[in-house]
Chain A
Amino acid sequence: MSNSNIDQRKIVFTIVAWSVGILIFFPILWTFLTSFKTEAEAIASPPVFLGFDWTMENYGEVQERSNYFRHFWNSIVISVGSTLLGLLIAIPAAWAMAFVPAKRTKDVLMWMLSTKMLPPVGVLIPIYLIFRDTGLLDTRTGLVLVLTMINLPIIIWMLYTYFKEIPGEILEAARMDGATLFAEIVHVLTPMAVPGIASTLLLNIILAWNEAFWTLNLSAADAAPLTAFIASYSSPEGLFYAKLSAASTMAIAPILIMGWFSQKQLVRGLTFGAVK
């Protein structure tokens, strides 16, 4: 193939990639721009892209009306807490499935994944009653537990895929050198799987950060994370788009920044094992 053909293909792929990127990013950009408009400008028809009077009024009002930092702190605790707890359970589980598989390991893995197919609302009332009776309603501990359970299948699957790539002989050698099971997992397997564990951790934090069904239904005032903060700015009667956009921008900014800095790990994590 000639050089000019390769260049042309490169240009086409670059244009397509940028177009898809802009298309995907556009709703976030629009939310960001709307957050600086007045309510009247936010609903103007035809819509105004950049030529409006930029105002910080919406951010001021959101700050005045809501305790952003309390929601933010709750989101941090819930997403990081559930991810760490999930990893603590998932690493030994994935080790067992990857290195000492039993006859039904594949079935167990599929069964775990199938729990993600259940509509969450189907188990809302039983979970709610358990939380009520155990005093976990509107507590960060309760939300950490429930999000751990929800995301555990994904964590185990991701780690299982990573661990399968690690040669079992290395672990065997460690065992022959007298390593205990604990030492084998902590000192041999984990350091080798750091990139995989890191991308699993990042992805799970994002999933937990964005989870809205359980965090909205099991929290009220004390443990409400940023999902509840956003939900408080939608209104059935009255204009709210500009303020809602400001609240959304504030809620997604931290996770967006984290995703930006860790995109290399994330992409690696999501594409691992896809091409061999």
Chain B
Amino acid sequence: MKKFTRALIGATILSMIAAPALAETLTIATVNNGDMVRMQKLTDDFTAKNPGIELEWVTLEENVLRQRVTTDVATKGGQYDVMTIGTYEVPIWGQKGWLVSLNDLPASYDIDDILPAIRGGLTVDDNLYAAPFYGESSMVMYRKDLMEKAGMEMPDAPTWDFIAKAARAMTDKNNEIYGVCLRGKAGWGENMAFLTATSNSFGAKWFDMDWNPQFDSEPWKKTLNFYIDLMNDAGPPGASSNGFNENLALFQSGKCGMWIDATVAASFVTDPENSKVADKVGFALAPDAGLGKRGNWLWAWSLAIPAGTQKMESAKKFVAWATSKEYLDLVAAEEGWANVPPGTRASLYANPEYAKVPFAKMTIDSINSADPKNPTVDPVPYVGVQFVAIPEFQGIATSVGQQFSAALAGNITADQALSNAQALTERSMKKAGYIK
């Protein structure tokens, strides 16, 4: 008996020592978005299916995350085994060989089920370098009651002229109702995401085929003047400091007639707990100017594995789990269909249960209408709808965004902003060696 007790104690101690040694811990860097937070809560399902793998989450603010993971992946620091990155980083990092190819995910993963537009944005030379966790485009969210009051009816695919007319008709500044809320805060992912996508629909482009900046072109003039005039007439005060969250707050509190922004916002504005106008919201495609391109963007927060990881196999297992069809079913079962990460898999949109979600159809139509490989009316040498997938873009677009934000605030004219944007972009592109 004594021997048995000793053996038992010995085995217990051994298992205590051995268990942590055997378990492999994956460090996952991510942003603090609702879908990501939900994933963290549901990871028991993954660890139950993969007992040898433990998960450690590092959640960071988007800009901090971008800086951290860029430093880590570029220096092969190996601090993270899985990273949450966007469609801007994937083509650049994939090209540089910083990411692990995901082409060999198991057949059950059904890689062909990923929406073609999203998959295209995450693929370089036929290699899928990141698996989409959720995808988004942009669309018009509007107040049905205010539209009716203005005596107008929103078409499914409006033009910019209609939006401008409706915005002015809906505006009632005395009662703090503003016809349209658009991004004005400077930043490559803030006002420049919106304005670059909008400019595509006006026939503008960042660069011609020889990488010459095009801010001195007529379509850019049209884009910026249209935006500033519209915001002056029908936008909220202080719009030059409004980004996604500020406009979300304005829309939810009933102060915006229309808001053109990320499709992911649809679940926020229709959430009765936080939105005063939850039952009054309608959706439409992003507007166009009759030139064949709509002003909507395409983005996917995706999970990628840095080439510096020592735990590639476990990391692949996690990525496959988090972006699988089964994960979507798990979220639906636990949190309801409206909370399923949208915009990644065709099978989700074929599901009759998901089709009942009010913004499902408009989300998929918006995603399908974006083409990151041919984003503009005229051909361009770059990939990306609301960005240009070159490393220099973040810096250049942030500076250009400051010019456009200043023009919206009335500190400089639209012409001055465009001329400054042209000069600073030319300077940066020369320095980077794209042009002489």
Contact = CB atoms under 8 A, between A and B. Distances in A.
A233 B31 CA distance: 9
Given A236-B33, A236-B244, A132 B77 contact: yes
Nearest to B261: A237
A40 B27 contact: no
B47 interface: no
A21 to B, nearest CB: 28
Majority DSSP secondary structure for residues of B touching A: mixed
A239 B249 contact: yes
A240 B32 contact: yes
Interface stretch (B57-65, B122-130, B222-230): B57-65
Given A231-B60, A239-B268, A217 B67 contact: yes
Interface stretch (A178-186, A188-196, A220-228): A220-228
B79 A232 contact: no
B264 interface: yes
B274 A39 contact: yes
Contacts of B255: 45
A235 B33 contact: yes
Contact of A239 (B31, B78, B274): B274
B34 interface: yes
A237 B247 CA distance: 11
B60 A125 contact: no
Given A43-B253, A45-B249, A137 B77 contact: yes
A237 B33 contact: yes
A232 B58 CA distance: 8
B197 interface: no
Contacts of A29: none
A126 B174 CA distance: 56
Contacts of A216: 60, 64, 68
Nearest to A221: B56
Given A40-B274, A128-B75, A137-B77, A234 B268 contact: no
B64 A221 contact: no
Nearest to A43: B249
Interface string B2-39: 00000000000000000000000001010111100100
B71 A232 contact: no
Nearest to A39: B274
Nearest to B308: A132
A125 B252 CA distance: 42
Contacts of A240: 32, 245
Interface string B102-120: 0000000000000000000
Interface in B247-276: 248-250, 252-253, 255, 262, 264-265, 268, 273-274
A220 B29 contact: yes
Nearest to A40: B274
Contact of A231 (B61, B79, B248, B265): B61
Contacts of A275: none
Contacts of B68: 216-217, 220
Given A65-B37, A233-B32, 18 more contacts: A39-B274, A43-B253, A125-B71, A128-B77, A217-B68, A221-B56, A231-B61, A232-B58, A232-B61, A235-B31, A235-B62, A236-B31, A237-B245, A237-B264, A237-B265, A239-B245, A239-B268, A240-B32
20 contacts: A40-B252, A40-B273, A43-B252, A45-B249, A45-B253, A125-B71, A128-B75, A132-B76, A137-B79, A216-B68, A220-B29, A220-B58, A220-B79, A228-B60, A232-B59, A232-B60, A233-B32, A238-B33, A238-B34, A238-B268
Interface of B: 27, 29, 31-34, 37, 40, 56-62, 64, 67-68, 71, 75-80, 189, 244-245, 248-250, 252-253, 255, 262, 264-265, 268, 273-274
